[in-house]
């Protein structure tokens, strides 16, 4: 059991409610532990906490334009590695029209987020159709392959030595955010039976990040039935009903979709803006000093960021303050439209992430400078 030194205090000019009714002319900054679940303090500053004039060293915020990764890879295990640590690996995959082998990840559960495209996924358990915006969770060592009907681009997130689970929704109840009844599982349907046969089939197996190949004289996706409580599941982001509060800007943790060992996956989907005049209507400045934060921008208008387009990814390592860009900050309390219009996938990693070689090749130069505000004298 954790016993933090906790004793709420107030000093100087402050609001009594986080993220609302800030003292005039101030900017709020949250310093927190354990993501947004632990003890926290809110400070009120005269200047934007991201108003730096320069950045030096490796801790700077990073941005990567993954849309510039144009190479197609026959196997998901050849996909461009973007970020990784001992608990999670993120890869960006432009899939072939049809895989000529089966893939099997023995290192951990695989989460496929379909950024673009549509098609069919075949696995041990049967057949699933997929489209843009789908999450597909494949339990560890599931054999699978895809056939694309439209060019398919995916973000692959491996839960290394771990399992994807649903978050504890607490007092919201099990049906909030999305009802588990909307989760789809593979079917042993006509399409699945039609792909069975005696053709020689290779299975590429990844274990300890090394590849092995097992060859069968038949297609091993030959199940005639199954029963149990372990299976791939599919969830489309359009089925997510985000939490909203008209008087309080909710932290990213309120949008948690999946949890694994030492990281979580959150999903941002369109929602109404806060309507209380005193409530912040943009993400608050914060020090998330226990997690590295990653955002993959899927579609829409990314209201808290400037010069971000679909297919980009940002990395904000723990250890510095971050928050809305200057243009977004101008709309901190008044928004020109009633709701957000963005879809994004967020990963919060408890352990520091390393940057893969492919990401270095598409890094957006000067991203750390995008928070700088030009002063009148300049």
**pLDDT tens readout for residues 255-295:** 999 999 999 999 999 999 999 999 999 988 988 788 999 99
Question: Stretch 305-316: mean pLDDT, rounded?
Answer: 92
pLDDT over 90, % of the chain: 82
Check residue 178 and give its pLDDT. Answer: 96
C-alpha closest to that of 339 among 269, 261, 250, 284: 269
pLDDT tens per residue, range 24-44? 999 999 998 887 878 889 999
More confident residue, 221 or 4: 221
Q: Of the listed 249, 255, 298, 325, which one is catalytic? A: 249
Whether 255 is catalytic is no
C-alpha closest to that of 160 among 197, 194, 119, 206: 206
The span from the CA of 346 to the CA of 331, in Å, is 23
From the centroid of its chain, how far is CA 139?
A: 18
Torsion of CA 147, 257, 329, 30, to 10 degrees: -140
Domains and CATH numbers, the chain: 27-63+241-371 (2.60.120.10), 71-237 (2.60.120.10)
In the three-class reduction of DSSP (H, G, I as helix; E, B as strand; rest coil), residue 327 is classed as helix
Within 10 A of 196 (CB to CB), how many other CB atoms are there? 15
Check residue 4 and give its pLDDT. Answer: 74
pLDDT tens per residue, range 156-179? 999 999 999 999 999 999 999 999
| Whole-number Cα distances in Å, 316 to 146, 312, 322 | 33, 13, 8
From the centroid of its chain, how far is CA 181?
A: 22
CB 157 within 8 A of CB 261: no
Question: Stretch 74-81: mean pLDDT, rounded?
Answer: 97
Q: Where are the alpha helices (DSSP H) in the chain?
A: 190-194, 326-329, 357-361
Check residue 213 and give its pLDDT. Answer: 98
C-alpha closest to that of 279 among 19, 17, 16: 19
The span from the CA of 155 to the CA of 160, in Å, is 15
Cα angle for residues 78, 79, 80 (degrees, 5° grid): 120
Question: Stretch 51-67: mean pLDDT, rounded?
Answer: 93
Q: Of the given ranges (1-5, 76-80, 355-359), which has the lowest mean pLDDT?
A: 1-5
**Phi, psi at residue 66, to the nearest 5°?**
-70, -15
Name residues whose C-beta falls within 8 Å of residue 351's C-beta, 6 or more positions apart in sequence. Answer: 85, 86, 87, 262, 292
- Ligand-binding annotation for 322, yes or no, is yes
- Ligand-binding annotation for 175, yes or no, is no
pLDDT over 70, % of the chain: 98
The span from the CA of 120 to the CA of 145, in Å, is 8
CB 289 within 8 A of CB 32: yes
375 pLDDT higher than 70? no
2 pLDDT higher than 80? no
């Amino acid at each position: 059991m954790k016993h933090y030194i906790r004793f709420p205090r107030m000093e100087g000019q402050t609001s009594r409610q986080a993220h609302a009714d800030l003292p005039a002319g101030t900017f709020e900054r949250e310093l927190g532990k354990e993501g947004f679940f632990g003890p926290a303090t809110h400070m009120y500053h005269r200047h934007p906490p991201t108003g730096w004039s320069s950045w030096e060293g490796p801790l700077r915020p990073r941005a990567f334009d993954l849309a510039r990764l144009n190479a197609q890879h026959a196997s998901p295990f050849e996909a461009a590695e973007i970020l990784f640590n001992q608990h999670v690996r993120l890869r960006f995959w432009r899939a072939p029209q049809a895989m000529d082998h089966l893939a099997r990840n023995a290192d951990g559960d695989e989460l496929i987020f379909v950024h673009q495209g549509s098609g069919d996924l075949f696995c041990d358990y049967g057949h699933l159709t997929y489209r843009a915006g789908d999450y597909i969770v494949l339990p560890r060592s599931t054999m699978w392959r895809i056939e694309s009907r439209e060019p398919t681009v995916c973000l692959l997130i491996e839960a290394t030595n771990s399992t994807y689970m649903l978050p504890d929704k607490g007092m919201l109840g099990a049906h909030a955010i999305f009802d588990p009844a909307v989760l789809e599982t593979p079917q042993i349907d006509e399409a699945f039976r039609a792909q069975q046969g005696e053709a020689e089939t290779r299975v590429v197996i990844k274990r300890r990040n090394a590849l092995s190949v097992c060859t069968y004289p038949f297609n091993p996706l030959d199940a005639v039935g199954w029963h149990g409580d372990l299976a791939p599941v599919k969830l489309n982001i359009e089925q997510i009903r985000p939490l909203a509060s008209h008087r309080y800007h909710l932290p990213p943790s309120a949008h948690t979709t999946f949890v694994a060992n030492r990281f979580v996956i959150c999903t941002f989907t369109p929602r109404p803006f806060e309507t209380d005049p005193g409530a912040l209507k943009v993400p608050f400045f914060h020090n998330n000093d226990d997690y590295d934060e990653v955002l993959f921008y899927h579609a829409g208008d990314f209201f808290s960021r400037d010069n971000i387009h679909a297919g980009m990814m940002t990395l904000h390592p723990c250890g510095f303050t971050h928050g809305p860009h200057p243009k977004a900050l101008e709309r901190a309390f008044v928004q020109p439209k009633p709701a957000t219009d963005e879809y994004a996938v967020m990963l919060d990693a408890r352990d520091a992430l390393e940057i893969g070689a492919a990401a270095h090749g598409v890094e957006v130069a000067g991203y750390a400078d995008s928070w700088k505000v030009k002063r009148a004298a300049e």
